[in-house]
Amino acid sequence: MSAEAKLREQICLLAKSLFDRGLTHGSTGNVSARTPDGGLLVSPTGTSFGRLDPGSLSRFDDQGALIGGDKPTKEMPLHSAFYETRETAGAVVHLHSCHAVAWSMMPDADPDNFLPPLTPYGLMQLGRVKLLPFFLPGDPAMGEAVRGLAGKRSVVMLANHGPVVAGKDVEAACNAIEELENTARLAMMMRGVTARALTDDQVQAVVTAFDIDWDD
């Protein structure tokens, strides 16, 4: 099996795992990954993560031209913006995960540091998460908002919509977006309770120990 064929299978396997565990639903969510030749494989528009077909994934060449597969997701501006601004991005995943969306609706959610520091793993896998305002689905302005961050964030949260994560590869991106959803779930569970979050000193210790890009 070729490297690209293996990547196609991996994308569909991981997407189904996310779907089966309720992290996205219906035909929501989209995923893309770099191919060995510098192109992209992208989930098609209107498809379910639970039923992706490896042979139908949208295929782009290294110049960004669609050369095969079905019509890609309408959220391509989001994906393209991450690849253009983060050289380390090997995959991008976008979900409509329930707890992350719920937390984005909270009036006290911090736009510059969306998730409270509840566990070290949230910091390690996500860094500082930027909460972006609401955009219409598919609006190219979402991509411009990501470009405006100049590659400083690997994760953004679209208000009332869902998280978007760029990772070194598709497995890393999926792991990180699961960590985001779990942290948001913890935040919702702890809402209204005087929870013991990590202190500033503990956050700094994690940031230093794991060389996390934490500054604005």
Residues in the chain: 216
Write out pLDDT tens, residues 72-86.
999 999 999 999 999
Choice among 83, 121, 210, 214 that is catalytic: 121
Share of the chain above pLDDT 70, in %: 100
CA distances 116 to 121, 123, 153, 161, 179, Å, are: 12, 9, 16, 19, 13
CATH class of the domain at 3-209: alpha beta
Write out pLDDT tens, residues 88-133.
999 999 999 999 999 999 998 999 999 999 999 999 999 999 999 9
pLDDT at 40: 98
Q: How many CB atoms lie within 10 A of CB 105?
A: 9
With CA atoms as reference, report the closest residue to 118 among 183, 69, 179, 209.
Answer: 183
User: Considering the chain, what is the average pLDDT of its residues?
Assistant: 96
pLDDT at 216: 64
Please say if the pLDDT value at position 215 is more than 80: no
Whole-model pTM: value is: 0.96
Please say if the pLDDT value at position 192 is more than 80: yes
Residue 41 gets the label, from left (phi > 0), alpha (psi -120 to 50) or beta, of beta
191/61 Cα distance (integer angstroms)? 46
Mean pLDDT within 26-55: 97
Please say if the pLDDT value at position 214 is more than 90: no
> Which H helix or E strand runs over 190?
helix 170-190
Q: Contact at 8 Å (CB) between 93 and 168?
A: no
Write out pLDDT tens, residues 50-71.
999 999 999 999 999 999 999 9
Q: What is the C-alpha end-to-end distance of the chain, expressed in Å?
A: 43
**pLDDT bucket at 33, cuts 50 / 70 / 90:** very high
Task: For residue 83, indicate whether it is catalytic.
Answer: no
pLDDT at 145: 97
